[in-house]
A = this chain, B = another copy of it.
């Protein structure tokens, strides 16, 4: 089995200021292509420690991935130490320099001289392109071992992994493997981990020696199926067998697979059906519209929204009846329904969606607990609402409410 070590460089991890999410991302990705991460090490911006780790890597691991220590400032040590350790020298990469310059030009500013250093690379290395920043990555092979250095900034590192690193590693190590590893993730929402577990039933019977992980987050629980078989055909058939059973048991909670984004799925449905959307948000405070508009091209189907945080805004802007607010309260099925209808009319959209709830920690009453939330949808001649109890954490409540709203919209659009 191909083995790997991940080295994270950063004092901010060692003093507990940030959590090492880079490592868990990398571990997950390497696992998915069949590389076994045997060790993860975090060290400071410190020459001796990095050299010690490079020695250990030369002796023990096929692949070493390093994150951090690649920016333009003084505490960036990875490149000089790679050069020292492998007896190499730094050379200027003209193409990288050109690219770094153009990034600064596009922002209408002169490139600081410190950034020239980012275009220097070890002479025996290959550059890994950075689509999201100025510090390129480095790929080196020494005596059959592969060393890859990437910046510590998560979104820069992630783009490099997906656009270059994983395919480089597959090409180098995983061409002639005797087994196939495959995985697929089903995305569920609206059901807790233990209920999901119970609904699925006997795991051994389902998995027949394959593996599955339950990965919970405020957005829902992801189910990752991991199979290992002699051939691709068998892998595909095992995955589809397990997937089918999962759909039959908990299908109503599954909203997508792998990297699907609920906001993208909803957007595609709206576009395909030629419908436009408007949002009226209270407790979610813009979370739903923010997710909808995070998708490029959403202006085609998203007309706009209202954050009717005050009763005044609910009445005056989207025409919620004063009596409704008085009689049932701002957090009620009745108000949610009028919000959805009102914003749809105001924005001249074909679909209106609304959310109103008690996000917490304050605002609860004797009959209405923190976490009580109503989502409503208005479409065609139809309008209906759903009542949810989301728990007592404000931040999580808002995430869950927006997620529930988008999923309700997805289900509705599938019926249209």
A–B complex contacts, Cβ < 8 Å, 6 sampled:
A11-B226, A14-B38, A16-B23, A16-B25, A293-B309, A296-B359
Q: Which of B14, B132, B197, B307 contacts A114 (CB 8 A)?
A: B197
Min CB gap A105→B, angstroms: 11
Instruction: Judge if A115 is at the interface, Cβ distance under 8 Å.
Output: yes
What bracket does the count of chain A residues touching chain B fall in?
35 or more
In the complex, residue of chain B having the shortest beta-carbon distance to the beta carbon of A107: B389
Contact A19 B19 (CB under 8 A): yes
The dominant DSSP class at the A interface is mixed
Given A19-B21, A21-B19: A12 and B114 within 8 A (CB)?
no
Contact B12 A224 (CB under 8 A): yes
Integer count of this chain's copies in the complex:
2
Contact B304 A306 (CB under 8 A): yes
Contact A183 B15 (CB under 8 A): yes
Q: Given the complex of chains A and B, what is the CA–CA distance between A46 and B213 in angstroms?
A: 13
Contact B20 A197 (CB under 8 A): no
Min CB gap A356→B, angstroms: 12
Q: Given the complex of chains A and B, what is the CA–CA distance between A230 and B64 in angstroms?
A: 40
Contact B312 A293 (CB under 8 A): no
Q: Given the complex of chains A and B, what is the CA–CA distance between A286 and B353 in angstroms?
A: 15
Contact B71 A214 (CB under 8 A): yes
Contact A394 B312 (CB under 8 A): no
Given A15-B28, A31-B16, A218-B155: A73 and B346 within 8 A (CB)?
no
Q: Which of B26, B198, B359 contacts A16 (CB 8 A)?
A: B26
Instruction: Judge if A288 is at the interface, Cβ distance under 8 Å.
Output: yes
Q: Which of B41, B195, B285, B296 contacts A394 (CB 8 A)?
A: B296
Min CB gap A28→B, angstroms: 3
Q: Given the complex of chains A and B, what is the CA–CA distance between A21 and B313 in angstroms?
A: 40
Contact B21 A28 (CB under 8 A): no
What B residues does A394 contact at CB under 8 A?
294, 296
Given A194-B72, A360-B296: A313 and B309 within 8 A (CB)?
no
Contact B304 A112 (CB under 8 A): no
Q: Which of B11, B40, B155, B292 contacts A42 (CB 8 A)?
A: B40
